[in-house]
Amino acid sequence: MGLRDDAPVWARWRSTPVDPYRIVRHWLDETVAARQVTQVIERVLEFSTDPARWEVLRPAAAYYVAANMDVDVELSVSVPISALQLLAYFRFVSDRGLYSNKKWNDDLTTEDQLRMLLDDIHADLAVHPHFTHLDAVQRRLAQNAPPRDALGVVIKMRNTVTHPSKDKPATFSPYEWFEAGMHARYWLCLSLLNLIGYDDDIAAAMESQPPWTGQLRRPPWAPNA
């Protein structure tokens, strides 16, 4: 807008270019998509023949879709954590019977529960330096406590926004939330694939360089991963 003597004399309107919408692909790769989808469908059908298992898989998958599609940056962390809690409970309480419901809820924190699940699938919980914003949070938190790994950082951020207080406001930037959400959603993706028994190639989604089509890796629990 142009002004003369504080009065507008002309205006021009234009749109600002923004990044186009992109589908999140944590596991699917176009070069092997047909094989991947075939195996996932087969595994899901086999896994869900037991109605109790389907009642675990269905909401967990819905959480994953929601976390990738229609939430803000804080909820992109909180929503996957809720789904991971659901999967951890199923694995160690309902399926394997290693804990009673009481011991699970009374003796273990959310971080304990998720750590058991992510350790069981051999997920990488390090904060890698190419995630510069999450690395910055890790260093800030380490000023007042022992260093946390990626799961510890993500849980701390989630707890701060879920239970804010005057002394501990949620002071993380959108970029820090975004990288925390990237980790939480990726762990949920891996946990879902592991749940159904998938062990074929997945897209290399968390590397230091943006992934390109055909860049694959084995899931961390697979042979020769």
Q: What secondary structure does DSSP assign to 129-143, as a single string?
A: TT-HHHHHHHHHHTT
pTM, two decimal places: 0.86
Q: Which of 24, 30, 48 minimizes the C-alpha distance to 197? A: 48
Q: Which of 225, 201, 194 minimizes the C-alpha distance to 57? A: 194
Cβ partners under 8 Å of residue 158, min gap 6: 77, 78, 81, 180
Q: Where do we find the tokens 């896994």?
A: 47
- Provide mean pLDDT across the span 34-50: 96
pLDDT of residue 29: 92
The per-residue pLDDT of the chain, averaged, comes to 90
CA distance 65 to 69: 6
pLDDT of residue 19: 53
pLDDT, tens only, 178-197? 999 999 999 999 999 999 99
CA distance 183 to 168: 23
Helices (H) and strands (E) in the chain, counts: 8, 4
- Is residue 27 within 8 A of residue 192, CB to CB? The reply is no
Q: Which residues pair with 2 in a beta bridge?
A: 10
Cβ partners under 8 Å of residue 56, min gap 6: 86, 87, 90, 94, 195
Task: Show me where the domains of the chain are located.
Answer: 51-199
pLDDT, tens only, 61-84? 999 999 988 678 788 899 999 999
